[in-house]
A = this chain, B = another copy of it.
Amino acid sequence: MKNIYFTLGPSQLFPGVEGFVKKALSEDILSLFHRSPKGQDIYQSATENLKILLNIPKDFHIFFLSSSTEAMEKILENCVEKNSFHFINGAFSERFYETATELKKKPLFLKAPLGEGFDFTKVKIPSNTEVICFTQNETSTGVALNPNDIYRFKKLHPQKLIAVDIVSSIPTIDLDYSMIDLSFFSVQKGFGLPAGLAVLIVSPQAFKKAMELKNKGLNIGSYHNFANLQHYALNNQTMETPNVLGLYLLNKVVTKMLKIGIKSIKQHTDKKAKLLYDFFDSDKRFEPFVKDKNLRSKTVIVINVQTDSQQIAEKLATNGIIIGTGYKQLKSSQIRIANFPAHNLKDIKKLIANL
């Protein structure tokens, strides 16, 4: 019996991935030269299919990086001369802020308690802010911000750039990319793929800002600065030798998702999320960490538990069910469960039955 992985990433593989890996072996994808016509085809196809699946405007750039952590660095290097503003309510939004500090920018932040959102109406963004950074779906706590609250900042500050971490909500979150300048995710979460590849989506306005910083003679990084990324992207390549297998598999999964239909995948996600929250809300041994139902992530479900989370996880593991424990300081008092497109209804029911 195969395990079912409800971990937050790497997680359960999207159905078909094993077959795609075997197909990659038989097609010699692991030896494929990334600058060959076939290598370029994979790059182009992955880019085009992603744009269709996620409804990304044609004039936006899709860049391939190695991790979402890298994406934070590249956003700050390329689009922030000095001032970024960060909404922090968990470990990953904190990391985004810390990255700015390490890169010697002058980041400001507004902090909300773990498991909570922000009173956005009261926030005043300083006029010199260049990029406003959000973590739409906090993988550490399971808080999901309403995208409309994010768009509001773009409408109020059209000259500023909006950067959004969509690592664990993609592809089942509805986003209006015309309201977001920079967004990023890695493929080992919602796409159900092996780790080692990330996608950065860049608006023309954000790209222009990077070119302005470059022309000013500032350091915007080297091989993965936006100028180099775009220069190679025009030939469906990267400057470095990329994770070719990762690109191949991403294209396969996106193609399959297009066939299934993103609407159906989203409905399926909603249904599974409802099942999970209904169960946890009704069982006294459990308590969803996020009290405000409007802020509860559909894809990252974080639950306070009474017994040690490690014990629960170990017991489930004996039945082939692998879940995550709480993040860092909440490790022993919480369990975390992924509800990604790779998880089917039967898996969710099995998890609930075993809890």
The interface of chain A, by Cβ under 8 A from chain B, is 2-3, 5, 7, 9-13, 17-18, 21-22, 25, 28-34, 66-70, 72-73, 76, 98-99, 102-104, 186, 188, 193-197, 217-219, 221-225, 239-246, 322, 324
- Given the complex of chains A and B, what is the CA–CA distance between A28 and B239 in angstroms? 31
Is the CB–CB distance between B239 and A196 below 8 Å?
no
Secondary structure dominating the interface of A: loop
Is the CB–CB distance between B18 and A31 below 8 Å?
no
How distant is A351 from chain B, measured CB to nearest CB, in Å? 15
Chain B neighbourhood of A322, CB < 8 A: 31
Is the CB–CB distance between A67 and B241 below 8 Å?
yes
Is the CB–CB distance between A188 and B222 below 8 Å?
no
Chain B neighbourhood of A102, CB < 8 A: 219, 221-222, 225
How distant is A24 from chain B, measured CB to nearest CB, in Å? 9
Residue of B nearest to A189 (CB): B241
Partner of A7, one of B31, B98, B197: B31
Residue of B nearest to A225 (CB): B102
Is the CB–CB distance between B28 and A243 below 8 Å?
no
Is the CB–CB distance between A195 and B242 below 8 Å?
yes
- Given the complex of chains A and B, what is the CA–CA distance between A70 and B18 in angstroms? 29
Chain B neighbourhood of A224, CB < 8 A: 70
Is the CB–CB distance between A188 and B219 below 8 Å?
no
Q: Could you list 14 examples of A-B contacts with CB < 8 Å? A: A5-B28, A10-B30, A22-B25, A29-B194, A31-B322, A66-B67, A66-B243, A69-B239, A72-B223, A102-B219, A194-B244, A195-B245, A196-B197, A196-B245
Residue of B nearest to A105 (CB): B219
- Given the complex of chains A and B, what is the CA–CA distance between A225 and B17 in angstroms? 33
Chain B neighbourhood of A246, CB < 8 A: 196, 243
